[in-house]
Structure 1
Amino acid sequence: MNHEVETELKMLLEPAQMQRLLAGKFKNVPFIHQANTYYRSNNHNHYAFRIRERNGETLFTLKEHQGDELMEYEKAFTGALEDDPELMELLASFNEYQPFEVLGQLDTLRADLDTSLAVISLDINFYNGTYDYEIEYEVKKPHDYREAFTAFLNEHNIEFKQNKVSKYRRFLKTMKEDDHAA
């Protein structure tokens, strides 16, 4: 299992900003579909995890806040989650036990631009009748990533505005709105 501190910057995009990126650096970068299914256990320990299916691969991810940092645990697996002892042991270490509740699915069309310093991902996200656009800058090697990402955005006449709300939180918000509508 991989685990590492995740270092990334994210920004929600307006449609016009998305179009500039698609006409610029992402012009010939293909989009790949990924389905993200979010889960939690019935004990509601404030941990949630996702299983992502992309290109025939199934990837488990759990993210844990550690102060200002985000520790990410990931493992590719086959078969059922419950049949993977390493994943079940990790979940138990967070007091997450079966049965697991499926919260829902968020679908993403993602284009990845891989550079020597970072992976820059352009996402179109669909969840609960909502869609949005987002760009992520995930650091691969230490560098002044904020400056590099800002420069990349400036090339497309986009001002950097840090997105503090994760896909998961945006997804949850739409679920709560659906609950109030019923």
Structure 2
Amino acid sequence: MSKTPEIEFKNLLTEKEYQTLLNLYQVKESDFFVQENIYFDTVDKTLENSHAALRIRLFADKAEQTLKTPFKTYLMETTDALQLEEARQLIKKEQIKKEGAVNETLSKMAISLSDLRIIGSLKTTRFEKELSHGLLVLDKSEYFGTVDYELEYEAQEELAGSHFFAHFLNQHHIPRRETKNKILRMKEAHLNE
């Protein structure tokens, strides 16, 4: 179990900008990894209405369940590790694991596990580059017939992260674009399907 603040900056990219950044970092096929997010909410959108999000994330050899909740000006991520097969079984049953910090937090929010339903999924091919002061991420995401490209920067501190991100975009001539989080983009694509 882990509980960490998510200080993250995001910007959608064009495919050309995405390819330019991959070339800049000389990214090879073996540098990518794939993750799939399966998102949950209640029928009456309790999590969405609370500005929270719940997912099970599948990797090639492991999985995790994460609840994101508002915390100060960013989000708090509460995560429980899962075995890959355990996660697949939970998804099949449209459930999350009962034991752990995610369920404890949901209980405090008065959300019952039996009320949760899968609302969609999103598959991401990701490249990560550890920098001295944060993590740079390039994502290609696919959901409901949509493909998008995104730059993320995960910082240790909000002000320094904001300055770095603004400088990075400026340096690479990438315009600042309003960027909704992945779950909202996935939901909007599903509505427009």
What is the TM-score when the length of structure 2 is the normalising length?
Answer: 0.81
One-letter amino acid of the counterpart of residue 81, structure 2 = A
How far residue 83 of structure 1 moved from its aligned partner, in angstroms, is 4.2
CA–CA distance in structure 2, aligned partners of residues 164 and 60 of structure 1? 23
Equivalents in 1 of 2:53, 2:165: separation in Å? 29
Unpaired segments ≥5 residues, structure 2: 91-95
Contact residue 119 and residue 138 of structure 1 kept, 8 A:
yes
Which stretch of structure 1 is more off in the superposition, 127-136 or 1-10?
1-10
Identity across aligned pairs (percent)? 28
Determine the C-alpha separation between the residues in 2 that align with 1:87 and 1:68: 21
- 3-state SS of the aligned residue for 2:169? helix
**1:87 and 2:102 equivalent?**
yes
* One-letter amino acid matched to 2:68: K
Report how many aligned residue pairs link the two structures.
177
Deviation at 1:147, TM superposition (A): 2.4
Amino acid at match of 1:71: M
Q: What CA deviation, in whole Å up to 9, does each residue of 1:85-124 have, x standing for no partner?
A: 4432222112221322011110000000011211100000
> What is the CA–CA distance in structure 2 between the aligned matches of 1:157 and 1:165, rounded to whole Å?
21
Q: 43-52 vs 112-121, which deviates more? A: 43-52
Aligned to 2:32: 31
SS at match of 1:11: strand
- 2:154 aligned partner, one-letter code: E
- Paired AA for residue 35 in structure 1: E
Contact 1:26 1:111 in 2 (8 A): no
Change in Cα spacing, 1:146 to 1:87, as seen in structure 2 (3 Å) is closer
Query: Which consecutive residues of structure 1, in runs of 5 or more, have no partner in the other structure?
Result: none
- 2:93 is aligned to none
2:6: which partner in 1?
A: 6
Is 1:73 paired with 2:78? Answer: yes
d(CA) in 2 for partners of 1:115, 1:143? 16
What amino acid sits opposite 1:96 in the alignment?
I
Aligned partner of residue 106 in structure 1, secondary structure: strand
Task: Name the CA shift for 1:136/1:56 in 2 (closer, same or farther; >3 Å).
Answer: same
43, 56, 64: which one pairs with 2:61? Answer: 56
Q: Give 3-state SS (helix, strand or coil) of 2:142's partner.
A: strand
User: Could you tell me whether the CA contact under 8 Å between 1:8 and 1:138 is conserved in 2?
Assistant: yes
Cα gap change, 1:115 to 1:102, in 2 (>3 Å): same
Which one-letter code corresponds to 1:23 in the other structure?
A: N
1:128-159 deviation line (CA, Å, top 9, x unaligned): 01010001000135762222223333443324
Q: Given the superposition, is the C-alpha separation of residues 86 and 9 from structure 1 closer, same or farther in structure 2, using an over 3 Å criterion?
A: closer
Q: Which deviations, in whole Å up to 9, do the C-alpha atoms of 1:20-47 show, x marking residues without a partner?
A: 1011025347110100000113453134
Alpha-carbon spacing, 1:116–1:123, altered in 2? closer, same or farther (3 Å): same
CA–CA separation in structure 1 for the residues paired with 2:16 and 2:108: 44
C-alpha root-mean-square deviation of aligned residues, in Å?
2.2
1:111 alignment counterpart:
127
Greater helix share, 1 or 2?
2
- Contact 1:20–1:156 (8 Å) recurs in 2: no
